Amino acid sequence: MDLTHRPRRLRQDRVRGLVSETSLEPTDLIAPIFVDATTDERVPIESMPGHERVPIDEAVARVEEVRETGVEAVMVFGIPASKDPEGSRAWAEDGVVQEATRRISAETDAYVITDVCLCEYTDHGHCGPLEAELRGDTDVGEGGPACDPTLTVDNDATLGALDRIAVSHAEAGADMIAPSGMMDGMVAAIREGLDRDGFEHVPIMSYAAKYESAFYGPFRDAADGAPSFGNRRHYQMDPANAREALREVRLDVEQGADVLMVKPALPYLDIVGSLRREFDHPVAAYNVSGEYAMLHAAAEKGWLELEAVALESLLSIKRAGADLILTYFAEDVAAEL
């Protein structure tokens, strides 16, 4: 029996820390927050225990809660006062994200990242204006446009809107812009818009490989962004595809993305790992609402220990290659670290 090699030697208590390959710090984490223009008081989000939609007046207080745990960055999502087919409240100067961002950046030191998309702002819940046939501008015959599975969001018409939204967020004081709609050319359109209007210093974190995932369910409760018909598979990625993710991400790199995000995180750690190997850019992973909700649900049943599985999840995401993690566990885990 040859036991020259005994890996257990380095697993003894006082040496484990010295040989640990991965560490997790509160400054690696970004806390998503939900600001809701339709409410005057905080509204708990049922499928995401511990999270609430807060009114604009409480946005600063909400960010201060995050900062107290040691987390320095927030991702702001907005629920607008009203919706329309174009999602015009998304770029309104007095829009919900713009108002909240203005206050947060004036009154706190938080690093403010804003989500740039249209799905929370359009009345149909898709990530951009619909193609003409879907809008009903032309006759599509029997069954109606919503029944035609080949129709979807008008990619190129969406790009102009994303430019306006990004610039309006930067004007309000956003430190970083995070487009999540998976439109072709979105990073280039936003980079051009920001540079044109004097925001060349504002980085873009692209949701570069965002999958059409069933793990987003609880978020749709939170942000009221479920599509009213169809799904998002014409713009978000097929969960079956890994090589395509590299192609998608390469396009965003060419268009000037500063940070590359994979969403969701845990079911897509292979993608996080391959981005880490293929690119030198910082890699972000979004530990999504479903990943959060399932651990909470299991813990509620007494089947898992919440703090331990939350920490292990985030550590695994870092080990796979993520530099930063967007997570609903940010505050809880940071407080423990």
Q: Which residues bind Zn ion (CB under 5 A)?
A: 117, 119, 127, 181
Nearer to Zn ion by C-beta: 169 or 318? 169
State the Cα–Cα distance between residues 242 and 248, nearest whole angstrom: 10
147 assigned ligand-binding residue = no
Give the closest residue to 249 by CA, choosing from 264, 240, 322, 258: 258
**Cβ neighbourhood burial of 228 (10 Å; 0-12, 13-18, 19+):** exposed
Q: Give the shortest CB-289-to-Zn ion separation in angstroms.
A: 14
Indicate which residues carry an active-site annotation.
210, 263
Query: What distance in Å separates the CA atoms of residue 202 and residue 336, rounded to the nearest whole number?
Result: 32
Residue 223 Cβ vs Zn ion, minimum distance, rounded to whole Å: 9
Tell whether 135 is in a known binding site. no
64 is in an annotated binding site: no
- The residue among 92 and 162 lying less far from Zn ion, judged by its C-beta, is 162
Q: How far is the CB of 181 from Zn ion (least distance, A)?
A: 5
Smallest distance from Zn ion to CB 277, Å: 28
127 or 261, CB closer to Zn ion?
127
**Backbone angle region of 256, left / alpha / beta, with phi > 0 → left and psi within -120 to 50 → alpha:** left
Query: Which residue has 């006082």 as its token pair?
Result: 14
Check whether 142 is labelled as a binding-site residue.
no
Judged by beta carbon, residue 70 or residue 217, the one nearer Zn ion is: 217
Q: How far is CA 222 from the centre of its chain?
A: 13
Q: Residue 310: which H helix or E strand, with range?
A: helix 306-320
Binding site residue list for Mg(2+): 248
Binding site as annotated, residues for 5-aminolevulinate: 220, 232, 289, 328
